[in-house]
Amino acid sequence: MRSFLAAHLGVPVVAAQVQGGGFTPGIAVRLDLGGEWVFVKAIPVGHPLAAKYRTEAATAVRLPRQVPAPRLRWHGDQAGWVVLIFDDVAGTHPDLSPGSPDIGITVAALSAMTEILTPTPAGDLPSTSATRGRWLRGWAELSQSLPDDLGDWERRHLPVLADLESRWLGGADGSTLVHGDIRPDNLLITSAGTVMVVDWAQPGNGAAWQDITDLIPHLIMAGHTPQAAETTLTGVPAWEAVPPDVITGYAAAYAGYWTRMARRPDPPGVPHLRAYQRRASQAALAWTKYRTS
Ligand SMILES: Nc1ncnc2c1ncn2[C@@H]1O[C@H](COP(=O)(O)OP(=O)(O)O)[C@@H](O)[C@H]1O
Ligand SMILES: [Mg+2]
């Protein structure tokens, strides 16, 4: 891979570190070009996910400078690959476990980012209702063909869950550029304590609460109770402004999405995705139970 990149990018590559954080079967690699590091993402042009890489490039170039995201240095097609070259970020994913100092700075960074991205700098993007609304659901579909291993609580509450899961759409519209895929592996905290947001491949325009609220299932996965996870967002304007039933609907939609997806066969080249989705579905279910009990 290193020689491929050296040959096709026309630069000598001194060292390469493959980044395994995400779930996309493309290349994600930090490259040492001889004292200067860059981060390269690439995927074959014919791959079904290539369009996401192009969306990411189109979004990254439009982000205002104040947004804490690595600068896209170059993008284009090279030798049959869609290639994106970013400034490198030396950092680690935030630790969202209870008591972690990363939580406060992550919440503050996402809250500030949302304000910078309102009004959206990319007015022609589709709305989040159109983008995320297509996949962020599951209970109605699960009701049509009931999996044998569906839990008792889910089975008993299926009609309620199927009703709830579309309610977040009633609060989804807005004039903020929403990242749409906020989770620890798309965040990097530098040694100086700066939170950088990467992987802008699922953007949409919508209500400001969505990105910050996406931390909640991940806080629960990291060991928070649902109540404690929500408490970490206290005082964030976008969170405080959302009608409660919109958030309850959002929790149910995530629970339905992950419950549905975790039961699909493994996609080729992505071995750990379903196990992750099973854990995520448990967290989102705990959140939904907390909000509906
Ligand atoms: N600019 C960057 N500098 C250093 N590492 C990065 C950079 N952008 C992303 N990464 C790392 O690479 C991983 C995969 O990149 P990401 O853009 O999230 O792609 P994927 O589509 O595979 O999720 C991230 O989880 C992160 O750890
Ligand atoms: Mg990612």
Given ligand 1 and candidates 188, 197, 202, which is best to mutate, with the most ligand atoms within 8 Å of its CB?
188
Does 234 lie in the same domain as 157?
yes
For residue range 108-153, what is the model confidence (pLDDT) as tens digits? 999 999 999 999 999 999 999 999 999 999 999 999 999 999 999 9
Of the residues 56, 87, 118, which one is the last residue of a structural domain? 87
Rounded distance from Cα 152 to ligand 2 centre (Å): 33
pLDDT band for position 267 (50/70/90)? confident
DSSP bridge pairs for 17: 30
Radius of gyration over every alpha carbon of the chain, rounded to an integer in angstroms: 19
Nearest alpha carbon to residue 185 among 12, 64, 22: 22
Give the pLDDT band of residue 19 (cuts 50, 70, 90): low
One-letter amino acid at 157 equals: H
Q: Which of 43, 199, 200, 276 to mutate to test the pocket of ligand 1 (most atoms within 8 A of CB)?
A: 199
Cβ atoms 49, 60 nearer than 8 A: no
268 pLDDT more than 90: no
> ω into residue 243 within 30 of 0, thus cis?
no
Mark whether 32 and 177 lie in a shared domain.
no
Nearest CA to ligand 1 atom 13: 21
Tokens 């995400």: give the residue.
22
Closest CA to 36 of 75, 86, 82: 86
Residues 76 and 187 grouped into a single domain: no
Q: Does residue 78 share a domain with residue 197?
A: no
Question: What does the mean pLDDT of the chain come to?
Answer: 93
Q: Please state, in angstroms and as integers, the Cα–Cα distance from residue 90 to each residue in 110, 181, 226, 262, following that order.
A: 19, 21, 31, 32
Clarify whether residues 96 and 77 are in a common domain: no
> Can you give the pLDDT at residue 9?
62
pLDDT one-digit tens code per residue, 146-191: 999 999 999 999 999 999 999 999 999 999 999 999 999 999 999 9
Indicate if the pLDDT at residue 33 is higher than 90: no
Instruction: Tell me the backbone φ, ψ of residue 44, rounded to 5 degrees.
Output: -60, 140
Q: Which range among 1-5, 156-160, 248-252 shows the weakest confidence by mean pLDDT?
A: 1-5
Do 118 and 14 lie in one domain? The reply is: no
Q: Is the pLDDT of residue 265 over 70?
A: yes
Per-residue confidence (pLDDT) for residue 26, from 0 to 100 = 79
Q: In the 8-state DSSP scheme, what is residue 89?
A: -
| Nearest-atom index, ligand 1, CA of 21 | 25
Domain count, the chain: 2
Domain that holds residue 11: 2-87
Question: Looking at the structure, do residues 23 and 152 belong to the same domain, yes or no?
Answer: no
Among 67, 87, 107, residue at a domain's last position: 87
Same domain? For 64 and 165 the reply is no
275-to-26, 222, 242, 249 alpha-carbon distances in Å: 20, 15, 31, 24
pLDDT tens-digit series, residues 66-112: 999 999 999 999 989 999 999 999 999 999 999 999 999 999 999 99
Among candidate residues 38, 54, 87, the one where a domain is terminated: 87
pLDDT class of 34 with cuts at 50, 70, 90: confident
8 A C-beta contact, residue 288 and residue 220: no
pLDDT digit string (tens) for 214-241? Answer: 999 999 999 999 999 999 999 999 999 9
Asked if 187 and 93 count as a contact pair (C-beta separation under 8 A), the reply is yes
The residue length of the chain stands at 293
- Tell me, rounded to whole angstroms, the distance of Cα 285 from its chain centroid: 18
Whether 148 and 239 map to the same domain: the answer is yes
- Reported as a pLDDT band with limits 50, 70 and 90, residue 271 is confident
Sorting pLDDT into bands at 50, 70 and 90, what band is 22? low
Long-range contacts at 126-130 (CB < 8 A, ≥ 24 apart): 126/204, 126/205, 127/172, 127/173, 127/204, 127/205, 127/206, 128/172, 128/178, 128/180, 128/204, 128/205, 128/206, 128/207, 128/210, 129/169, 129/172, 129/173, 129/206, 130/204
Distance separating the N- and C-terminal Cα atoms of the chain: 52
Q: Are residues 126 and 61 in the same domain?
A: no
State the Cα–Cα distance between residues 101 and 177, nearest whole angstrom. Answer: 27
At 2 the pLDDT is 55
The CATH number that applies at residue 81 is 3.30.200.20
Model pLDDT, residue 251: 98
Helix, strand or coil for residue 136? coil
Q: What pLDDT, on the 0 to 100 scale, is given for residue 283?
A: 98
Instruction: Indicate which atom in ligand 1 lies nearest the CA of residue 201.
Output: 21
